[in-house]
Amino acid sequence: MSRRRGIPFVVAAPSGTGKTTVCRRVVERDPRVEFSVSHTTRARRSAERDEVDYFFVSPGRFDELVEEGAFLEWAEYNRHRYGTSRDALDAELARGNDVLLEIEIQGAAQVRERRSDARLVFLLPPSLERLEARLRGRETDSQEEIQRRLAVARGEIHAASRFDFAVVNDDLDRCVADVTDIVRGCRGGCEVQLRERFAPGTALERVSA
Ligand code: 5GP
């Protein structure tokens, strides 16, 4: 009997929307979902572990990987580069697991073009005011950095209209449950209702209201 192939799920969101937490929780809740560990040239933060949170590589090594065609997608974000390994993703999908790619928006657009099996989920902040408050609360970024991330976020929110699903993260548990429903629903082949429930246009209206 041939094993079912997994589905790649892209989860993108403006910085500070809480997508890392949401993705980690979805992976914890569902044993058939794995997290895609990206490569990055940025420095490791103190709480992060190499090969668990990211593969931390030098710019030179990143260049080699790009040259070898190792990445399904890659992008520069905030002066650092990030990429998704094609082989690691395919191996996990072949094992029958679904995979969450927690990536930024340029990378999501590349996945959209290159993989017709991918489903794209956009997480929206409840409002730009709440997003700013969250970025401040993280205390990892300078004032200048926060302002830059907010300006980027304003532009990024509109990309939600090109995604399959949009979920507003105004309550973490709810958002985790919604993304889990999307993953399970796509796996079970009942996407029509999901596309209605998580229509990007409706979610965007809620956020900008
Ligand atoms: P951070 O440096 O805060 O961990 O991540 C910065 C941004 O890069 C986030 O939006 C994150 O989702 C994104 N990112 C992480 N891995 C990848 C990747 O493999 N490809 C792309 N395109 N973006 C990524």
Measured CA to CA in angstroms, residue 65 lies from 78, 90, 161 at distances of 20, 16, 31
Residue nearest to atom 3 of ligand 1 (CA): 15
Tokens of 174: 């709810």
Determine contact, residues 73/128, Cβ cutoff 8 Å: no
Query: Any idea of the CA torsion for 52, 58, 64, 69, to the nearest 10 degrees?
Result: 40
As given in the structure block, the two tokens for residue 14 are 């403006």
The tens-digit pLDDT sequence of the chain (209 residues) is: 567 899 999 999 987 788 999 999 999 999 999 999 999 999 999 999 999 999 999 999 999 999 999 999 999 998 999 999 999 999 999 999 999 999 999 999 999 999 999 999 999 988 888 888 888 887 777 888 888 888 888 888 989 999 999 999 999 999 999 999 999 999 998 899 999 999 999 998 888 76
Contacts with 9 (C-beta within 8 Å, 6 or more apart), sequence order:
33, 98, 99, 100, 101, 118, 119, 120, 121, 182, 183, 186
Tell me the CA–centroid distance for residue 103 and ligand 1, in Å.
Answer: 5
Comparing CA positions, the residue from 78, 113, 85 lying closest to residue 101 is 85
Q: What is the 2 CA–ligand 1 centroid distance (Å)?
A: 34
Distance CA 17, CA 50 (A): 23
Question: Which pair of structure tokens corresponds to residue 54?
Answer: 């990211």
Mutate to test the pocket of ligand 1, among 82, 141, 157 (most ligand atoms within 8 A of CB): 82
Cα(9) to centroid(ligand 1), Å:
15
* Cβ–Cβ < 8 Å for 192, 172: no
Return the SS3 of 55: strand
What is the rounded distance in angstroms from the CA atom of residue 83 to the CA atom of residue 97? 20
Residue nearest to atom 12 of ligand 1 (CA): 103
The structure's pTM equals 0.91
205 burial via Cβ count (<10 Å: 0-12, 13-18, 19+): exposed
Rounded Cα–Cα distance for residues 194 and 164 (Å): 9
Q: What are the structure tokens assigned to 139, written together?
A: 């205390």
Residue 137: how many CB atoms within 10 A of its CB?
9
For ligand 1, is residue 14 a contact (CB within 6 Å)?
no
> Please, what are the domains in the chain?
8-37+98-206 (3.40.50.300)
